[in-house]
Amino acid sequence: MKALQLKEYNHQEIIDAPKPSPKAGEVLIKVKACGICGSDIHGLDGSTGRRIPPLIMGHEASGVIEELGPGVKGYAKGDRVTFDSTLFCGECRYCREGNFNFCENRQVLGVACDEYHRDGAFAEYVVVPAIVLYPMPDEVSFVQAAMIEPLAVAVHGVSITPITIGDTALLMGAGIIGLLTLQVLRTAGCGRIYVADVDEGRLKQAMDFGATGTFNPKKDDIPAEMKKLTGGLGAQIALDAVGMESTVHACLYSVRKGGNVTAIGNLAPEIKLPLQHIVSHQITLRGSNASSGEFASSLQLIQSGRVDVDSLISKVAPLEEGADYFTRLYNREAGLMKVILEP
């Protein structure tokens, strides 16, 4: 089969790879669309340690069932499906509790690290456990379904954040996850949502998606501005879709006493925290890890039109152009946000 393989760091090429076969409990998917994720871009140069070559990357995908492995029930050849990139076992304590993102045997599609190697969906075919499949509504296209994984990340982050109807929210970051989180915050009932980013083009997009207002950290004192907008109190909630010390601090200093901060992004592995401020203001800081079963609700959000993913897709291209688009995304080409590849 045709596949885009990371041969060595910063070098990908189309190869002829063996077509995989499904084992018990697995299905073979003919891939129709697969999105280039920011984590793939960061893994391209080896900096994350989670894309060790040779590897077929890709985990934001959709397709058609080609073959059922032994014991798979409830699906048939030809079914249109998308699938969770978190491959969970369904049997450990965390899975039994419904916390699939904490699975003790968790693997991620398209990832190779010291613990495991799992080729992904930048290929004509991919094998996944049937337990992670989600049937696609007819109204949702394969390209749209390739956006389900990042949307599920946004839905998870919002769902674990205590939100009361009418709350004021600060959102740091207007990349793909940020702009999806903005839309989900609107569906969750936030009254006012302020978005911060250093890219003015992305801030304009945030306004198009319904942000109440925007800030640029290069010129705005975000905590001071948030206090002005909330009668000196601060926002009830803040979400960080970036994951740097400066963005986390902006969230912590922008919420009111008793406020909640949710960290979705983790660009920096470690940061310093203003512990005295957190304690004296009784601020709750929580992490949001990937997603945990939010694919079904994410499909409904797209199907109903409450979340617009089409406006975030910059280009749909054949798999053969994948290496070029990886390079362009890695170099942060202006105006290029989300690229979907079709094998």
* Residue among 247, 324, 332 at smallest CA distance from 38: 332
Token code pair at residue 95: 């899975």
pLDDT tens over the chain, length 343 residues: 999 999 999 999 999 999 999 999 999 999 999 999 999 998 999 988 899 999 999 999 999 999 999 999 999 999 999 999 999 999 999 999 999 999 999 999 999 999 999 999 999 999 999 999 999 999 999 999 999 999 999 999 999 999 999 999 999 999 999 999 999 999 999 999 999 999 999 999 999 999 999 999 999 999 999 999 999 999 999 999 999 999 999 999 999 999 999 999 998 989 999 999 999 999 999 999 999 999 999 999 999 999 999 999 999 999 999 999 999 999 999 889 999 999 9
Residue among 46, 30, 60, 43 at smallest CA distance from 326: 43
Which of 174, 148, 132, 190 has the alpha carbon at shortest distance from 303?
148
In the chain, CATH 3.40.50.720 covers 161-287
Two tokens, residue 39: 């984590």
- Tell me how crowded residue 179 is: count the other CB atoms within 10 A of its CB: 29
CATH 3.40.50.300 fits 161-287, yes or no: no
Residues with Cβ within 8 Å of residue 279, at least 6 apart in sequence: none
From the centroid of its chain, how far is CA 121?
A: 16
CATH fold for the domain made of 2-149+292-342? Quinone Oxidoreductase; Chain A, domain 1 (3.90.180)
Q: Could you tell me whether strands 313-318 and 60-68 are parallel, antiparallel, or unpaired per DSSP bridges?
A: unpaired
Q: Could you give the residue ranges of the DSSP H alpha helices within 44-147?
A: 93-96, 142-145
- Tell me the β-bridge partners of 195: 171, 214
* Stretch(es) of the chain classified as CATH 3.90.180.10: 2-149+292-342
